Amino acid sequence: MTNKSETYRIEVDSMGEVQVPVNAYYSSQTQRAVENFPISGWRLPTALIRGMGRVKLACAIANNDLGKLTGSGKNTLSHEQVKAMVAACQEVIDGKMDGEFPIDVFQTGSGTSSNMNINEVISNRAIEIIGGDRFAKSKPIHPNDHVNMGQSTNDTFPTAIHVATACEIHSSLIPQLERLHRVMREKALKWDKIIKIGRTHLMDATPLRLGQEFGGFARQIELSIERAKVAMKAVLELPVGGTAVGSGINTHPEFGRRVAENLAIQTGIPFVEAEDHFEANAQRDGLVESHGQIKSIAMTLFNVANNIRWLGSGPRCGFYEVILPDRQPGSSIMPGKVNPVMCESMMQLTARVMGNDTTMTLCGASGGNFQLNIMMPVMGDAMLESVALLSNGIGAFIEFCMDGLEANPEACEAAVEQSLSMVTSLNPFIGYEKAAKLTKEAFASGKTIRELCVEQSVLPKETLDAALDPFTMTEPQA
């Protein structure tokens, strides 16, 4: 070991000596991975680091409860070791060790480098907690023998991805979607009496109420909440307990169940042991399914934001049926111009999520060969990036767009009488063909449907007024 005042210390593993930053809690295998993968500079998401910490904590408790405290050989634990490992794991979960995970996302496809990274960090921090020398050659709490007891990267790393994904959906995405749904419903109720013209194919259609339009948006978000719950459900089965290939070699038969139960207690999320460990180790189908639901949510948010952007276009030469909050100057050359920046932000981030779904699909389909998927780090990164983008994006969209969004009743109602599709309500009285002829005449003359009908005495005034009442056209009529 070098002096602590020097830049590096020497660590030794099965491949020989490695120079490791002197104060780092990680050791040789982490450093080898840092040197091997100078790819992107992207580290694993902090949510995944927390998930790994939760899994290691649950594993330590499960080993303790399964009686791994007595016996002979390396594969034993003392109460003191378990207590120290649990404390070190909690520090990882609490974010106190975030700087100790330097490995690039684009690493070994199983995540072995990152699994050993956390094993080394927990080992060295636990040694320190019990008053030992973490720089000593002999490790009283060994990263493989003790921290990784009863485990393999192949079952614990995907377990951590599942745990992190479910936790982020549960604690961040669903609450933000619920907030957005409430705001949408409030707008829908507030604007229920404002009549406006509908648009299909971007062309004039029959009237509806602004509240009905926003009620439709609210329902889209309500369905997105259900999709988020399905996304969480897809990752509740945990691979832990399958070890290397799904057979459970070197672990207790009850290990997987006990770890899942502890993770459920930790998080309040009903995690369970995988029904079939060979499937759970080898394939990431559940993760792909989960992200598919996330992609659908992204598509919905893209659509809603884009519709609001169109409705707010103007202020003089567009629709301007809703008034978006002014957030920032919109042009470097056109003074006074203000753009729908929050809608645009939402559309961009949801486009990224949709792109991530392609990554997830390809990794799930091509990376799952035989007993192991070998594209898991990038799957975990893409999944958690998508959830974070949506959660953060929704929060900003609510605060900086939806909360301050106002209706423009004058602009909404001004276009109603001008719509040629007002003629639709006359179909039951004069038939489709005559109504179509009136439409062409109205367009050619520049007159409204009402004006032309009065001029030609198409219907008695009372009947005509009732048929062309915009409000009655927004609901079914017996």
The residue length of the chain stands at: 478
Point out the catalytic residue in the list 40, 331, 366, 445: 331
CA angle 357, 102, 394 (to 5 degrees): 40
Element (H, E) at 231: helix 210-233
Question: In this structure, are residues 107 and 113 in contact, taking their beta carbons and an 8 Å threshold?
Answer: yes
Which residue, 31, 26, 48, is CA-closest to 378? 48
201 is catalytic: yes
> What pLDDT does residue 69 have?
59
Distances (CA, A) of 25 to 16, 37, 74, 290: 19, 19, 22, 34
* All domains in the chain, ordered by first residue: 23-149 (1.10.275.10), 155-235+275-412 (1.20.200.10), 417-474 (1.10.40.30)
pTM given for the model:
0.95
> What pLDDT does residue 74 have?
58
Give dist(CA 403, CA 180) in Å, integer.
Answer: 10
> What pLDDT does residue 188 have?
98
List the pLDDT tens digit at each of the 478 positions of the chain. 444 457 999 998 899 999 999 999 999 999 999 999 999 999 999 999 999 999 999 999 999 999 875 444 556 778 899 999 999 999 999 999 999 999 999 999 999 999 999 999 999 999 999 999 999 888 899 999 999 999 999 999 999 999 999 999 999 999 999 999 999 999 999 999 999 999 999 999 999 999 999 999 999 999 999 999 999 999 999 999 999 999 999 999 999 999 999 999 999 999 999 999 999 999 999 999 999 999 999 999 999 999 999 999 999 999 999 999 999 999 999 999 999 999 999 999 999 999 999 999 999 998 888 999 999 999 999 999 999 999 999 999 999 999 999 999 999 999 999 999 999 999 999 999 999 999 999 999 999 999 999 999 999 999 999 999 999 999 998 7
For 338, which DSSP code? B
195 three-class SS: strand
Which residue, 430, 432, 455, 457, is CA-closest to 445? 455
Give dist(CA 32, CA 113) in Å, integer.
Answer: 9
Sequence letter at residue 353: V
> What pLDDT does residue 76 have?
72
The DSSP bridge pattern shows strands 237-238 and 272-273 to be parallel
DSSP state string for 111-129: -HHHHHHHHHHHHHHHHHH
Q: Which two tokens stand for residue 219?
A: 């329902």
Point out the catalytic residue in the list 5, 14, 138, 201: 201
